[in-house]
Amino acid sequence: MWRDPKNNSRPSSFKINNNRWRLVVAFIFLLAGALLYKLFNVQIQECDLYTAMAASQQDVNRALLPTRGKIYVTEEVNGQEKLYPLATNKEMATIFAVPKDITNSTLLAEEFFKFFDLPTLTASSSASTTLTSSTHDQLIAAYLKRFTKPNSLYQPLDKRIDDDTLLKFYATLATALANATSTSPIVPITTTTAPVLKPVTADELMVLNERVVYKNDTSTPLVIPGLGYNFSDYRYYPDNEIGSHLLGFVSYPDAASSGVGKYGLEEFFNDELSGRAGSVNSAKSAQGRTIIVNDRKYLKPEDGSDLILTIDRNVEYVACTKLQEAVKKHGADGGSVIVMNPATGAIIAMCSVPDFNPNNYADVKDIRVFNNPAIFDQYEPGSVYKTITMSAAIDQGKVTPATTYHDAGEIMIPGWPKPIKNSDFETKGGHGVVDMNTVLEYSLNTGAIFAERQIGPKVFSDYVKGYGFGEKTGIELGSESPGNIGSLLTDKVKEIEAATASFGQGIAVTPLQMIMPYQAIANHGILMTPYAVKAILRPGGIRENIEPKQIRRVVKESTANTVSAMLVNVVESGHAKGARIPGYFIGGKTGTAQVAEHGLYSATNYIHSFIGVMPIDHPAFVMLTKIDNPRDAKFAESTAIPLWHDIAEFMLKYYQIPSTRPK
């Protein structure tokens, strides 16, 4: 049968299915095209971006902090050098708050105050006036401000404590908070069935794996809601205030820092003590574990070097303790002690008051306390300076101990409107014809002027500079002052400037500068560089010893011997009788200097000092004691000399220095 091909058509349902198929195929092609484009974009166009993102998730780039070097003082035991750390490192806890989790902010603030602030306030010598309701309210308010910060997850509390203190603190908090309420008990956050926390003592707790736990259940940590702590290595000073000005302290500008030295040895030797940070570049697994593979980089950190000081541990302790007692006894503003080996320039002890605890340097209210008064404070030294004047005149051959002059008790200087008087003029008047020994024994200002005039202002100025005044001594401590002898540095020194300088007024020195001429005289006329570090221990045990350094000869040996003998007369017959110790020849000189205030000399404020050499025939040490503005005595023989005597007596026994004269 003949059929018309036009009538051989497919059913309409087939046409519909075919259209759907074409739509599916088109969608697949579009999806494949989009996928190919995305792959091209990721793998070609934005390859660097995604490589970096992957690295940030998988790579670990971490700084490896070195261990800061220790600072040691020494002690000789049976002829052997024994080291004690004056600055070391200790793992401590830093406390922080999580305000949103704190359940009782008021009670927590009160407990913080009682634990951290109240002991400091009550330990103050003026606790009755310091501990006021206003002080209490201010400190509580400061805590509450941090504890109640809305939605805050972290508030540092500036509390860094060791393990024992952390246990006491957590026991105190747990007991207080547990007793405060029964409706909101504190429970250890470990399991949902953990028991309600009860009062606990520090003896029932321990630190394990950087967590405070119960000794009878080490799997259960003690958790105080809203408080936490992190353990890290921090600088630690075992002797607290002892040697604080020598050491300085270490600050931590951020959590990733190994610390930066501030003031003292910590700052001066910061590079040596800090060492060199390392780094690690490793991979991280999906579980967060660090994986070190062959093509990753690892740079080992280099720990800091240790310092071994010239400081004797026992002498430093006694000197600092005795100084504290003397300042308190005399109601003084402060004071300093320096003990030095005259043959080498090595510092045996150095301390000043007021001092600070470098463990808690943030508690210091006045940052000027951080400056080391022994090398920073400038003052007019007074009569201890007469030894310099006398040595210059003797060295020039212009006077001898037997040279005489007529002392009228006062003297007029051309160009100056009023006479310069001796300190005892009001009670003694003039002393008549006296020799140079008497000038030092009775500390006569007119005699110092007489000696200076024999050599003239220019030569006198040269000796002053030769002893190192007007420039830094070079000791390895930061923030040293150069002093001020500007009045003696002009082309034509005024007669009045030279006259007043001859007895230690009108110029400014530091305590360390002032002890140096006595070091030179005790060392046969040779000035040494003072130093406090005798060795550096490099990583690997390599020891670099610091050798004594000679600066210059200032006076002839014969001059030094003559002046030394004159200083003995001062102790034997003059104002320094209180420094005598049976069995020894001691030489020294007192100084009672008026304090310049607003261009005038104060009628009530004085600086007392004594510098002594012992024993004078075989000098083992030279020591300066200085008391600032004592309230109960007018002259140094009542303040600085007793302090010097007590420390010297200890040192004679400690070093077993043999007697050199019949008792």
Let me know: does 269 contact 284? Beta carbons within 8 Å.
no
**CA dist 522 to 27, 465, 565, Å?**
103, 18, 11
- Give the CA dihedral 120, 124, 130, 131, nearest 10 degrees: 50
Give the residues across from 89 on adjacent strands: 235
Phi, psi (5° rounding) for residue 506?
A: 85, 0
Give the residues across from 336 on adjacent strands: 352, 626
Helix (H) or strand (E) holding 247: helix 244-247
Whether cis (ω within 30° of 0) applies to the bond prior to 642 is no
> Which residue out of 244, 258, 274, 383 is catalytically annotated?
383
**Cα distance between residue 634 and residue 11, in whole Å:** 130
What's the token pair of residue 200?
A: 């606990």
The answer for 355, left when phi > 0, alpha when psi is -120 to 50, beta otherwise, is beta
**Cα distance between residue 264 and residue 71, in whole Å:** 12
Let me know: does 305 contact 275? Beta carbons within 8 Å.
yes
**Cα distance between residue 261 and residue 307, in whole Å:** 14
Residue carrying the six token digits 């927590």: 108
Give the residues across from 612 on adjacent strands: 588, 623
3-state SS of 83-139 is EEEEEEEEEEEEEEECHHHCCCHHHHHHHHHHHHHHHHHHHCCCHHHHCCHHHHHHH
Q: What are the DSSP E strand ranges found in 302-341? A: 306-312, 334-340
Write the CB contacts of 19 (distance below 8 Å, at least 6 apart in sequence): none
Is residue 258 part of the annotated active site? The answer reads no
**CA dist 615 to 335, 440, 618, 655, 658, Å?**
24, 19, 6, 12, 9
Burial class (CB in 10 A: 0-12, 13-18, 19+), 276: middle
Sign of CA dihedral 120, 125, 128, 132: negative
Tell me the chain's radius of gyration from C-alpha atoms.
Answer: 37
* Closest to 347 in 3D by CA, of 496, 195, 534: 534
Which is it for strands 71-77 and 306-312: parallel, antiparallel or unpaired? parallel
Residue carrying the six token digits 């083992």: 620
**Cα distance between residue 373 and residue 377, in whole Å:** 5
Give the residues across from 161 on adjacent strands: 93
Helix (H) or strand (E) holding 395: helix 386-395
Number of Cβ within 10 Å of residue 298's Cβ equals: 11
Q: What is the DSSP letter of 182?
A: S
Burial class (CB in 10 A: 0-12, 13-18, 19+), 309: buried
Q: Which residues are catalytic?
A: 383
